């Protein structure tokens, strides 16, 4: 899975669970947070974050916040939709021609 049009920024604050304020090259930007969980141990003031530019130019926010740098761990993906996308890509590479989240398609023998 790859994100298109990424940009690095610095985390400022998170007014609510859906948005964050970040500094992108000296410009304060409101961004969509792709994880509604608390993430308090990750989203710390001045933390380096990675943004993905939205494909829809009509959106209220230009970017999605998808990852944050954590000392000792490196970049941590906080996009809550990423695991399903990564798994779907992996299953497609294993010969599955239909992948639907939440549905058991076939059992792999042990």
| Residue-level pLDDT at 6 | 93
Instruction: Chunk the chain into consecutive blocks of 10 residues (it has 110) and report each block's average pLDDT, rounded to whole numbers.
Output: 88 96 97 89 95 92 94 89 75 78 60
Which residues have C-beta within 8 Å of that of residue 85, sequence separation ≥ 6? 1
The CATH T-level fold of domain 6-79 is OB fold (Dihydrolipoamide Acetyltransferase, E2P) (2.40.50)
- Give the pair of three-digit tokens for residue 29: 């930007």
- CB count within 10 Å of CB 68 equals 22
| Residue-level pLDDT at 10 | 98
| Residue-level pLDDT at 85 | 77
| Residue-level pLDDT at 107 | 58
| Residue-level pLDDT at 102 | 65
Dihedrals phi, psi of 6, to nearest 5 degrees: -95, 155
Among candidates 43, 30, 53, which has minimal Cα distance to 78?
43
Within the chain, which residue ranges are assigned CATH 2.40.50.580?
Answer: 6-79
What is the phi-psi region of residue 85: left when phi exceeds 0, alpha when psi lies from -120 to 50, beta otherwise? Answer: alpha
- CB count within 10 Å of CB 9 equals 22
| Residue-level pLDDT at 110 | 56
């Amino acid at each position: 899975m790859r994100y298109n049009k990424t940009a690095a920024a610095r985390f400022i604050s998170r007014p609510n669970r859906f948005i964050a304020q970040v500094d992108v090259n000296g410009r304060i930007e409101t961004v969509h947070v792709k994880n509604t969980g608390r993430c308090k141990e990750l989203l710390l003031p001045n933390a380096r974050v990675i943004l993905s530019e939205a494909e829809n130019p009509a959106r209220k926010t230009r970017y999605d916040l998808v990852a944050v740098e954590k000392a000792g761990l490196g970049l941590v993906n906080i996009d809550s939709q990423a695991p399903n996308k990564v798994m779907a890509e992996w299953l497609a590479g294993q010969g599955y021609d239909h992948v639907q989240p939440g549905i058991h398609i076939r059992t792999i023998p042990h």
